[in-house]
Amino acid sequence: TDQEPELEVEVGPTLGVRITAPIRDPDCTSEEEEQQPYPALAPVVFFCIKQTTRPRSWCLRMHVSMLVILLNCVTLGMFQPCEDVSCQSEWCLILQVLDDCIFAFFAVEMVIKMVALGIFGSKCYLGDTWNRLDFFIVMAGMMEYSLDGHNASLSAIRTVRVLRPLRGHQQSMRILVTLLLDTLPMLGNVLLLCFFVFFIFGIVGVQLWAGLLRNRCFLGEDVRTHPLNADLHPYYMSEEGEDSPFICSAPRENGMLRCHDVPAYSEGGAECSLAAPPRGSALIGSPPVVGGASVNGCVNWNQYYNVCRPGDINPHKGAVNFDNIAYAWIAIFQVITLEGWVDIMYYVMDAHSFYNFIYFILLIIVSITFFAAILVEHG
């Protein structure tokens, strides 16, 4: 029989010790190693199924999930639940059938992965974080189908559908997500400084403008009980309502709008200019017309909105104000996003002072500087 060649190693120049060891051919592998085409995975699952055993060997070779994930993204983007709430149209039914097929594929894929990888263990299905996300999405879908028709609200469960595109967890996506999570601790000091600066801006806003965005022009006491003003609102409101409020400046403030800036009342496209008739006059017995119309014109009731005082409502249904630090942060966040920040600045300038624009310009400059520093440091 052929003997394996031996490697002779001489240790020490004077001792003359020789150590012989067999040289192993790198092309020679054991039979057990040849049966493991995926060394990184568990060699045996379910106590008896090896990597080369059918159907596990078929499950390890399936790579069609990316196409189904792309199809799922398209179908999710084409759903229009507001236009067809009960899903009776033909298009909605087609999308529903596609969604059912996609869910069935994901459920079958989960079972296939469990067969291929095993369920429990460090190298098995539930040992990977991305696979646990897959398991959660499939279980949420099963719960949705099981509760359908039982008068249960499924809106919260259906929102899990948006996580389905995350199932395309290729190696490149894993690297990007891991890199993003690793950079978050590095942003701690920058975010802490950013929080401190915005906290200072919030305190300044509360000290200067707390309650001012509630200011409205109310009717005076002498006009409030007049017989002809029954249809008038307690305070002046434009045609847009609270979507575009008239925020006045109190006498002690230096804002840009006063109650005498309220536009004149108009009827039929013509501005009214008359004063309100005195009590007991002949106009009181005239036909009841809004504004007290007469042959000489109509009454400009808006001129009696002359009392500027705080009301009960802040702009945008109470969302925009500086009454406390929490609402101030909401307003600051809206300003730094540059979405509707001009309206907030005009509200404050109308109620307090023209020079308040300096506050908002500085806030935007500081926020842009912080974001630029973050991009430069970690970009």
DSSP per position, 79-92: --TTT-TT--SHHH
First to last CA, the chain: 65
- Domain assignments of the chain as residue spans, ordered by start: 54-177, 179-211+318-378, 214-276+295-313
CATH architecture, range 54-177: Up-down Bundle (1.20)
* Stronger pLDDT, 144 or 149, i.e. the higher one: 144
Half-sphere exposure (Cβ direction) of 366: Cα atoms closer than 13 Å: 20
Q: How confident is the model at residue 285 (pLDDT cuts 50, 70, 90)?
A: very low
pLDDT tens digits along 331-354: 999 999 988 899 999 999 999 999
Q: Is residue 180's pLDDT more than 90?
A: no
pLDDT, average across residues 233-260: 87
Q: How confident is the model at residue 56 (pLDDT cuts 50, 70, 90)?
A: low
Phi, psi of 49, deg, nearest 5: -95, 115
DSSP of 259-296: GGGSPPPEETTEE--BPPPPTTSGGGGS---TT--BTT
pLDDT of residue 28: 46
The mean of the pLDDT values for the chain is 75
Highest-confidence range of 32-36, 289-293, 299-303, 332-336, by mean pLDDT?
332-336
Asked if 370 and 194 count as a contact pair (C-beta separation under 8 A), the reply is: yes
Q: How confident is the model at residue 98 (pLDDT cuts 50, 70, 90)?
A: confident
User: Distance (Å, rounded) from C-alpha 310 to C-alpha 320?
Assistant: 15
Specify which residues 309 forms β-bridges with. 216
Which two tokens mark 189? 């000091």
Q: Which fold has domain 179-211+318-378?
A: Helix Hairpins (1.10.287)
Q: Which helix (H) or strand (E) holds 217?
A: strand 215-219
Highest-confidence range of 9-23, 277-291, 329-343, by mean pLDDT?
329-343
User: Distance (Å, rounded) from C-alpha 333 to C-alpha 16?
Assistant: 80
Do the domains 179-211+318-378 and 54-177 match in fold?
Answer: no
pLDDT of residue 39: 64
pLDDT, average across residues 206-230: 79
Highest-confidence range of 18-22, 89-93, 255-259, 278-282, by mean pLDDT?
255-259
Asked if 66 and 166 count as a contact pair (C-beta separation under 8 A), the reply is: no
User: Distance (Å, rounded) from C-alpha 341 to C-alpha 335?
Assistant: 5
pLDDT, average across residues 61-71: 68
The percentage of the chain sitting over the pLDDT mark of 70, rounded to a whole number, equals 65
Q: Is residue 86's pLDDT more than 90?
A: no
Q: Is residue 26's pLDDT more than 70?
A: no
- The CB density around residue 204, as the number of other CB atoms within 10 Å, is 15
